[in-house]
């Protein structure tokens, strides 16, 4: 192992930590990682526990070996999803995020030294990996306790594991993740805490918990965003899919949005009921169901699931945005798969896995097959955990696209609640809306977290996920990200913008059917350009344009799905009250961007919103291209 370390160019603290130790492991293969995750050879169950004081230990997670991988379940319900307030900044650099010193009343340097002292007493696992994937990523390292090998395996699958023998001479980590799970109890009152410490030559991520979401996944996302801030590019919070129609038209859609906004679902095939019918929506007031008929679904070739890198060296000369995947594995949420047959595609990939997978928050029996529709129970709430996950290496996804792609359409997803005239909400969006660039930019600044978010703890009501919908993972300043997004959109005028709600359209429950129908319609249409006669200005200017009519595969959709004020259960009264909720929320969130650093055009767009500008006012600033 020591000869592997000698190939690396490491910070002095890491050299001091590892040079005198003999009890550390650098994994030799993915199989080796999975063996380490079970504690000892031959074990089928393993408790991940830590001493938090003399004579007292706490079990954080249970690991079970299954036929198709390993299943990890956390003892505490709180640890089964990401805490949105877990990120703090340990350094003195520019940031709009809470700093360690402001939150805890002391410099981070003291706890940093304590972390190294604790690690020095442990058996360690040292994991080289590529932050952002093997092709485009940056050399990085994870150092943590050996008994948390499942966490290392998860990080390796998500980012790009580098086996010991593959470490190159001169391997220089751009980021280092330090894992110290018991500090959650000994220092942070049981809370998830992830500290970003942006040093001159390395971005340190201190993970004081074992849920990979905020650190192995989103912590590395923060690293990429920080690199992008320095170099002038963005990693977007987006899935991307190439859609090929039965007539061989090809359309590439990138779908952005907050957690739960339908990113993974955009690359899923449309769900059908047991009779093979496609349920567009169910009216929650009358109980009426609306079905549509599609003769054949489009072929889907996924590109990205959650992180789309937009580095300048990828851009071509087409004036379209070009993206590549920033991950080697996808952190798939499977809460919607609650019984056999809901999603045969992912059920087959997970049940008959070609390689062992990592499952989280899913019931497991030793040496049995882990089934993704058997979600662990949140006993405190008396219902299944809403955040079951599987880490899917992208090499196992059929028809995956490995190269960078040009994006025809950027869509933005919003979890919308039920809306009626008796109980008006912001769920006034139709099936989809076409947005001029200024409105597309505003939606990415406000990024509503939306209704009943299953991925995080704080999910009630309408709240903002922050700029780009990736703000929870960023470490710098909001206005810098807002400017980067604006410049990116100005540089890619041939990519068009739409807005898609999910869960509800007015009084109708639709799940993710809205984005599946939109995807099928736009791909079959073969063009992202619309004549003005095909569009109607939405009653709420923030929603841009609504379609006058929509026909997909010979079926006309009822107009109540396109313009929700036509629904008797909503009407103009309910719609306008919902529009005011939306407008007031935008005004509340946008004021914080009016700083001296804001791009002049961005200031004009935000001021247009704050003064209730109409659709023409936005087009005068930055016109839509029909």
Q: Which domains are seen in the chain, by residue range?
A: 2-37+84-231 (3.40.449.10), 235-321+407-621 (3.90.228.20)
pLDDT for 343: 85
pLDDT for 453: 58
pLDDT for 2: 78
Candidates 378, 389, 363; CA nearest to 64 is 363
Lowest-confidence segment of 62-71, 178-187, 525-534 by average pLDDT: 525-534
DSSP per-residue codes, 474-492: --S-HHHHHHHHHHHHHT-
pLDDT for 168: 96
Decide if pLDDT at 15 tops 70: yes
Taking residue 530's Cβ as centre, other Cβ atoms within 10 Å add up to 16
Task: Select the more confidently predicted residue: 191 or 271.
Answer: 191
pLDDT for 459: 46
Task: Select the more confidently predicted residue: 551 or 430.
Answer: 430
pLDDT for 460: 53
Q: Could you report the per-residue pLDDT of 380-410, keeping only the tens digit for each?
A: 899 999 999 999 999 999 999 999 999 999 9
pLDDT for 247: 83
DSSP per-residue codes, 396-408: GSTT---S-EE-S
**Could you tell me the pLDDT band of residue 248, with boundaries at 50, 70 and 90?**
confident
As a whole number, mean pLDDT of residues 181-202 equals 97
What is the C-alpha separation between 545 and 329, in angstroms, rounded?
36
Candidates 127, 116, 341, 313; CA nearest to 215 is 127
pLDDT for 555: 87
As a whole number, mean pLDDT of residues 574-590 equals 97
The CA-atom distances, in angstroms, between 242 and each of 12, 236, 311, 499, 625 are 46, 17, 20, 18, 22
**Could you tell me the pLDDT band of residue 461, with boundaries at 50, 70 and 90?**
low
Candidates 182, 179, 175, 216; CA nearest to 82 is 216
Decide if pLDDT at 458 tops 70: no
pTM exceeds 0.85 for this model: yes
pLDDT for 336: 85
pLDDT for 74: 97
pLDDT for 497: 96
CB of 212 closer than 8 Å to CB of 314? no
């Amino acid at each position: 192992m020591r000869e592997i370390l000698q190939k690396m160019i490491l910070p002095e603290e890491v050299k001091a930590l590892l040079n005198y130790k003999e009890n550390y492991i650098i994994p030799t293969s993915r199989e080796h990682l999975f063996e380490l995750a079970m504690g000892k050879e031959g074990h089928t169950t393993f408790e991940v526990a830590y001493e938090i004081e003399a004579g007292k230990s706490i079990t954080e997670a249970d690991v079970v070996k299954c036929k198709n991988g390993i299943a990890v379940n956390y003892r505490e319900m709180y640890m089964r999803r990401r805490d949105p307030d877990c990120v703090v900044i340990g350094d003195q650099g520019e940031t709009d995020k809470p700093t360690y010193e402001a939150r805890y009343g002391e410099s981070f340097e003291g706890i940093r030294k304590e972390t190294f002292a604790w690690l020095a007493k442990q058996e360690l696992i040292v994991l080289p990996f590529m932050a952002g994937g093997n092709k485009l990523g940056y050399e990085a390292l994870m150092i943590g306790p050996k008994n948390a090998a499942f966490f290392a395996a998860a990080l390796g699958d998500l980012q790009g594991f580098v086996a010991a023998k593959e470490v190159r001479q001169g391997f220089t980590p751009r980021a280092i993740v330090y894992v110290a799970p018991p500090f959650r109890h000994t220092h942070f009152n049981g809370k998830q805490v992830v500290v970003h410490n942006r040093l001159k030559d390395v971005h340190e991520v201190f993970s004081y918990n074992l849920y990979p979401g905020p650190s192995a996944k989103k912590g590395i996302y923060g690293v990429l965003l920080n690199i992008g801030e320095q170099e002038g590019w963005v990693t977007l919070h987006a899935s991307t899919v190439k859609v090929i129609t039965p007539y061989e038209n090809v359309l590439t859609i990138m779908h952005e949005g907050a957690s739960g906004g339908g990113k993974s679902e955009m690359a899923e095939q449309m769900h059908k009921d047991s009779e093979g019918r496609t349920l567009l929506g169910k009216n929650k007031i009358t109980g009426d169901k609306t079905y549509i008929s599609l003769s054949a679904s489009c072929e889907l070739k996924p590109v990205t699931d959650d992180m789309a890198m937009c580095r300048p060296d990828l851009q071509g000369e087409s004036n379209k945005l070009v993206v590549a995947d920033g991950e080697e594995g996808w952190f798939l949420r499977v809460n919607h798969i609650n019984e056999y047959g809901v999603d045969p595609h992912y059920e087959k990939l997970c049940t008959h896995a070609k390689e062992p997978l990592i499952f989280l928050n899913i019931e497991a029996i030793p040496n049995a097959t882990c089934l993704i529709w058997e979600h662990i129970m949140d006993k405190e709430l008396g219902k299944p955990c809403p955040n079951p996950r599987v880490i899917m290496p992208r090499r196992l996804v059929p028809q995956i696209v490995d190269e960078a792609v040009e994006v025809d359409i950027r869509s933005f997803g919003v979890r919308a609640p039920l809306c009626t005239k008796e109980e008006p909400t912001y769920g006034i969006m139709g099936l989809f809306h076409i947005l001029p660039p200024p409105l597309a930019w505003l939606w990415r600044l406000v990024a509503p977290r939306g209704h009943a978010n299953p991925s995080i703890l704080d999910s009630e009501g309408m709240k903002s996920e922050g700029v780009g919908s990736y703000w929870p993972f960023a470490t710098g300043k909001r206005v810098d990200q807002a400017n980067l997004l604006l410049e990116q959109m100005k540089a890619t005028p041939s990519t068009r913008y739409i807005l898609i709600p999910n869960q509800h359209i007015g009084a109708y429950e639709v799940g993710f059917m809205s984005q599946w129908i939109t995807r099928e319609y736009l791909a079959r249409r073969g063009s992202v350009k619309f004549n003005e006669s095909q569009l109607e200005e939405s009653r709420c200017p923030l929603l841009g344009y609504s379609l006058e009519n929509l026909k997909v595969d010979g079926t006309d959709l009822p107009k109540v799905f396109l313009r929700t004020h036509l629904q008797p259960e909503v009407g103009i009264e309910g719609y306008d009250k919902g529009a005011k909720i939306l407008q007031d929320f935008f005004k509340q969130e946008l004021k914080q961007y009016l700083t001296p650093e804001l791009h002049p055009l961005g200031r004009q767009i935000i001021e247009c919103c704050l003064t209730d500008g109409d659709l023409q006012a936005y087009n005068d600033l930055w016109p839509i291209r029909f």
